[in-house]
A and B are shown apart, each in its own frame.
Chain A
Amino acid sequence: MALPEVKQSATEARLMALTLPESGCLKAARQAALSRVQTMGLPSRRDEYWKYTKPDTLVQAEAPKAAVFHADETPMFNAFERLNIVFVDGVFDAEASDDLELEGLTIDRIEDICCKDIHWAKDLYGVLEARGQTPVERPLAALNTAFASDGVAIRVTGKVSKPLNFTYVHSDDNSDAILHHVIRVESGAEVTILENGPAASRFNKCMEIDIADGGTMHLVRAQGRDHERRAATHLFTRLGTESVFKSFTLTVNGVLTRNEAVIELTGDDAVAHIAGACVGDGDFHHDDTVFITHDAVNCESRQVFKKVLRNGATGVFQGKILVKEGAQKTDGYQISQSLLLDDDSQFLAKPELEIYADDVACSHGSTSGAIDEEGLFYLRSRGVPHAEATDLMTLAFLAEAVDEIEDGDIAADIVSRLEGWLARRR
């Protein structure tokens, strides 16, 4: 079927501005992704899953300008041992990064996948993204697979002693970055990956994660405080038997963020937790779009998303749990909540459940509300000043999402950023 004319021309305009990288053995994968983009067309407001979020600035040929923001605070995830991997405006910075060597894993840039003949990465690149295109299309992810200019391939083979810390530096007001990472966690291996920073004025990031039986991966990211930055990110995760994937995302500021997570539980007894906390003030639009497929027995999935919105900020949550036939004993939980600090802010939620098995427990809930006045008065009556009491109540609201982070030091860092954000707005 031909694309609507507007979509067709928008897609063509975007593709004109890009060149397919020279990439040897990944050429076929990139070409295939390009034809997916051409067939689907890039997102428009008329698409069902873009009803609440305007994709225009994510799609247009040039990245809208975004001033680089210099935060006067210590860098994220700085207080503990980690291996640093730095990208500046979407380009790997070897000088600023540590040696990419750590026991229990290998790290290579995607441009080296072919010359080093890294089979597993060749076999994974674009594969989970392509699987994730049905039943809901994700054209920006296909665009990413086709045109990603950098990224890494990480293979985890053992229990890694310290986290990998990706720092995405934004240094050019007009930068437009497309990064693609592929990660394979082998059987019984375990890794924690941290990500922080805005990356670019406009950032399109795709992460394909394949976790083998008994593998574990923790992912914690913080998306940077630059007010004008835009980002469209995709996580595609496939989980094997008894494997675990836990992800948490902190979003503080940013004019537009769309975080999609496409999770497929393909082995029995697997566990996937996806959580996020966002705080937005004024010109802020944040969208969490999650699709979890249960395709095995006795798997557990949790989605916990909390949003604090003020001065006209907008939050969107679209979360789906699909339980396939035969995925008995599924335990699916989904909660999305917003705390609206004034009458101008809004929260739009679309929880979905689609279940084809008869022995499952799935629950979902979505709420939107103001600060609990009773609680606020209680705190104040004990001498806690109004502003401090409001912050305490706000942090308490976000706690359920932050509690999804298992590592106490990492969680404490996230909480301190939230405290800072709140304190700056008193």
Chain B
Amino acid sequence: MLEIKNLHVKLEDEEKQILKGVDLKVEAGKVHAIMGPNGSGKSTLSYVLSGRDGYEVTEGSAELEGEDILEMEPEERAAAGMFLAFQYPVEIPGVGNMTFLRTAVNAQRKARGEEELSASDFLKEVRAKAKTLKIDAEMLKRPVNVGFSGGEKKRNEILQMAMLEPKLCILDETDSGLDVDAMKLVAEGVNALRDEGRGFLVITHYQRLLDHIKPDVVHILAGGRIVKTGGPELALEVENNGYAGILAEEA
């Protein structure tokens, strides 16, 4: 599904190397978690994969189902099946949530040469999916993320994910700013999307999200490299010993 090889990334405007040779392979049907201390490069990895400006790839590659995604525009990556659930979803005043969703769904279908979804089919699907995420009609009508609480914003991200049905979902600290109930709701939304054809990359500081979204593989990212890879037990180790303990062990 996703194959990252020796990825080196620096900030475009500064001589600051952030990723220093990341190797990672996410298989279809699997959930990989990336954990790591602040400043280790977790968010940079998610932004570089989704095509945000401001980063420069100096070495290495990233392929989604064999296609080089690093040369693609963000919208092309989305159409190819990439989805990033933002750590801080952006507010867009003046654009209705529903309009946004429909434009996105149909733009991707068009890019893939599929027929656009009719207004009524779209509405039916959105309503059904919104309901399971406890997103009411009012939230769908409001401008994108404007005036949403932290939990509502994250639920809205998962709704977009459910509507767009990507192949690879990257969740960037989706647990940040969520209380326990909201986290459960979001995790249920994510779990409902787990299937054999879809890969997940879950980026988080804490082990608690992984209680709800059970990972198959856990990686520790530190200093711009993946320094340790293991099973779900590795997340527990982080919880018990902190990153310092693991890093000392690896050094």
- Point out residues on A near B: beta carbons under 8 Å: 372-375, 377-386, 388-389, 392-393, 395-400
Contact = CB atoms under 8 A, between A and B. Distances in A.
Given A374-B90, A385-B107, A380 B95 contact: no
A381 B94 contact: no
A382 B78 contact: yes
5 contacts: A386-B75, A388-B107, A392-B100, A396-B93, A396-B143
A382 B160 contact: yes
Given A388-B103, A392-B103, A380 B94 contact: no
Given A373-B53, A377-B53, A384 B75 contact: yes
B221 interface: no
A385 B107 CA distance: 7
Nearest to B104: A382
A387 to B, nearest CB: 10
Given A382-B164, A383-B104, A384-B107, A399 B94 contact: yes
A395 B143 CA distance: 13
Contacts of A393: 92, 95
B51 interface: yes
Interface in B43-67: 50-53
Contact of B111 (A372, A383, A392, A397): A383
Nearest to B90: A378
B79 interface: yes
A383 B111 CA distance: 9
A397 B93 CA distance: 8
Contacts of B78: 380-383
Contacts of B144: 378
Contacts of A385: 73, 75, 107, 111
Nearest to A374: B90
Contacts of B150: none
Given A373-B53, A393-B92, A380 B84 contact: no
B232 interface: no
A382 B73 CA distance: 11
Specify the main secondary structure of chain A where it touches its partner: helix
Contacts, number: 81
A380 B73 contact: yes
A377 B94 contact: no
B114 to A, nearest CB: 12
Contacts of A398: 94
A374 B74 CA distance: 13
Nearest to A400: B94
A383 B80 CA distance: 9
A399 B75 CA distance: 25
B204 interface: no
Contacts of A399: 93-94
Nearest to B95: A396
Contacts of B84: 381
Contacts of B94: 395-400
Nearest to A403: B94
B74 A377 contact: yes
Given A380-B73, A380-B78, A381-B84, A392 B95 contact: yes
B53 A384 contact: no
A380 B93 contact: no
A397 B143 CA distance: 12
Interface in B98-153: 99-100, 103-105, 107-108, 111, 143-144
Given A382-B107, A399-B94, 10 more contacts: A372-B92, A373-B53, A377-B52, A378-B89, A381-B50, A382-B78, A382-B104, A395-B94, A396-B95, A397-B94
